[in-house]
Chain A
């Protein structure tokens, strides 16, 4: 499977410019005859300023703004995503959008098939900071077919929670698509603690797409990457391709060899050595013991 991942910034708030920019990146990927192209987090918010008529920022005012314009943002991203996926005949992970959810908002990734079907995945782990601006977590993780490959979507903060990769791969995912928007300043090791390690401990491929530049009064940086298990990457780095600059736009393209992946899973079957009796006794109760205060430990 040939995959492209886009690293991009919002350059103009005019609706037509946004659409053209997104179309341009998808077309560039298609020129390389890819099966799948992945866009970064918050592409759906690229249209927010144009639709609301004013600048906005990530913060407590977001639920109100999304309450008013969320449906339009989804419509914008869906129209573009569906039309582009069908026209180019590829799978298109269109990035993410914020949608109204009760009194808060949900952060959803959208994946379009070449037949126009859309799959959605909400972010499931919401940081304290994100909670302050009204984000609510989804409570399920789904696996979708992309060219016959079981694929999971990892949204924003979820990249730092290994539970996400574990659940998705145990639901049969061999490919993870990650949509990120990491605040500046860029931290190389911070990024490595995310999808790279989820790939290693689950023996899957991953395409990670990073938002860069400014959006909603925040600045973002990252290095879009294509990862695989160390054993089947050059130099055993676990990195198939990675953009060099965390603040420059670019397109990464590589092929994922799922036969090689199957071989390494057979040769070194990490999942075969799960300790189910341990997990049975610890999960999910151990999460409820919350947490870290001085009185919570079990001692000998």
Chain B
């Protein structure tokens, strides 16, 4: 009964009208960034956002709109948000902010909330429907009002499809008309997320847009070369990667994600990081825009990157898809692929005696 009342209350607090009203107050001007399309100059932005609890749809809209506005004013046609970008909305839970102040870990907060048996996934399953309403309305409206593409980072949400029950970490792409172009569940979980009870998706998709072919795996997916290899072979040219990395910043450890994947697969990469301290987790990262070494001025694979791994920011740069396509023609990866070798080992080797798990 108590649970039902809470769900009802959350539903009321997440009605899309609150999002719309908040956006109206911001008086967001529609931009003309997509009126002139040039594959030789696709302007993209990575935004870096802090994680903090937010207790209302109105506040959430204001926080999320700020970086998109900043990017759109600089001409961005595609804006990419970080992973776990709806987690702020745990603040909708009555008293959760006080719980956070008392507990110094997520596990501790959950124990206090629901006892030993409660998993993080259970909390997201409870708040998920309300989170989803606010999250989707916010980013759909932002994309439509600004007239640009938005990769709305990812959100931990219960599945809406009956055949895939469970809680997933899902990236969303919205078009300039506000339409949801596609979803991409995270396919490789952090050990922490697996312990939380989240489930991994098992498909990867590439989405056609007027800017180019966009994919959006999530964070840990970039630890595995398989993700980017599959996406590149499916035709991805721009890979947006929402990230929330729960460890102190280290240049070398950060180098293990999107950077080598971009080099291996000949794509452009856009990484957007969630930062800040939250329930004992220290989230860090440097959002940035990456390319094959040969397409960057300093031959270092970095087009532009935010300097501070702990603060909010926006970084904007141009991608040259004409040059990328030419680079691929001149340096064809497929010329060196060894199909006989792959056929011998893939996918069987992942099930072999030395593969853990």
Contacts and interface: CB of A to CB of B under 8 A. Distances in A.
Interface of A: 124-128, 131, 137-141, 157, 160-163, 166-167, 169-172, 187, 189-190, 192-193, 197, 200-201, 230, 235-238, 268-284, 286-292, 294, 296-300
A137 B253 contact: no
A236 B248 CA distance: 12
Nearest to B202: A277
A163 B225 CA distance: 8
Nearest to B354: A172
A277 B252 CA distance: 30
Interface string B195-229: 00000111111111000010000001001111001
A193 B293 contact: yes
B232 A283 contact: no
B339 A284 contact: yes
Given A277-B202, A300-B182, A287 B232 contact: no
Given A167-B349, A201-B225, A287-B342, A160 B264 contact: yes
A124 B234 contact: no
Interface in B218-277: 220, 223-226, 229-230, 232-236, 250, 252-253, 255-256, 260, 263-264, 266
A146 B208 CA distance: 49
B357 interface: yes
B328 A278 contact: no
Contacts of A290: 233, 334, 337
A131 B266 CA distance: 20
Contacts of A125: 336-338
Contact of B338 (A139, A276, A278, A299): A139
A77 to B, nearest CB: 24
A230 B334 contact: no
Contacts of A270: 223-224
A128 B331 CA distance: 8
Given A201-B225, A278-B202, A292-B232, A124 B338 contact: yes
Interface string B331-349: 1111111111111111101
A110 to B, nearest CB: 20
A282 B207 contact: no
A171 B339 contact: no
A241 to B, nearest CB: 15
A269 B195 CA distance: 13
A163 B349 CA distance: 11
Contacts of A292: 232, 235, 266, 325, 328, 332-334
Nearest to B345: A167
Given A269-B191, A299-B207, A162 B341 contact: no
B256 A201 contact: yes
Interface of B: 181-182, 187-191, 194, 200-208, 213, 220, 223-226, 229-230, 232-236, 250, 252-253, 255-256, 260, 263-264, 266, 293, 299-301, 325, 328, 331-347, 349-352, 354-357
Contact of A276 (B220, B232, B341, B347): B347
A172 B233 CA distance: 27
A229 B336 CA distance: 27
Given A236-B252, A297-B206, 17 more contacts: A160-B263, A163-B346, A189-B293, A197-B263, A236-B253, A275-B187, A275-B188, A275-B224, A276-B350, A278-B204, A283-B342, A286-B229, A290-B233, A292-B328, A297-B235, A298-B205, A299-B206
B253 to A, nearest CB: 5
Contact of A273 (B194, B235, B264, B341): B194
Contacts of B206: 297-299
Contact of A128 (B224, B253, B266, B336): B336
Nearest to A282: B230
Given A140-B341, A193-B264, A282-B204, A187 B299 contact: yes
Smallest CB-CB A-B distances: 10 pairs: A297-B235, A283-B346, A197-B260, A162-B225, A272-B357, A277-B202, A300-B182, A193-B263, A291-B334, A139-B340
Contact of B332 (A273, A281, A291): A291
A220 to B, nearest CB: 18
Contact of B350 (A131, A140, A187, A279): A279
A114 B347 CA distance: 36
B356 A271 contact: yes
Nearest to A293: B235
A124 B339 CA distance: 10
A208 B299 CA distance: 22
A278 B203 contact: yes
Contact of A274 (B235, B250, B357): B357
Nearest to A267: B191
Given A172-B354, A230-B250, A190 B293 contact: yes
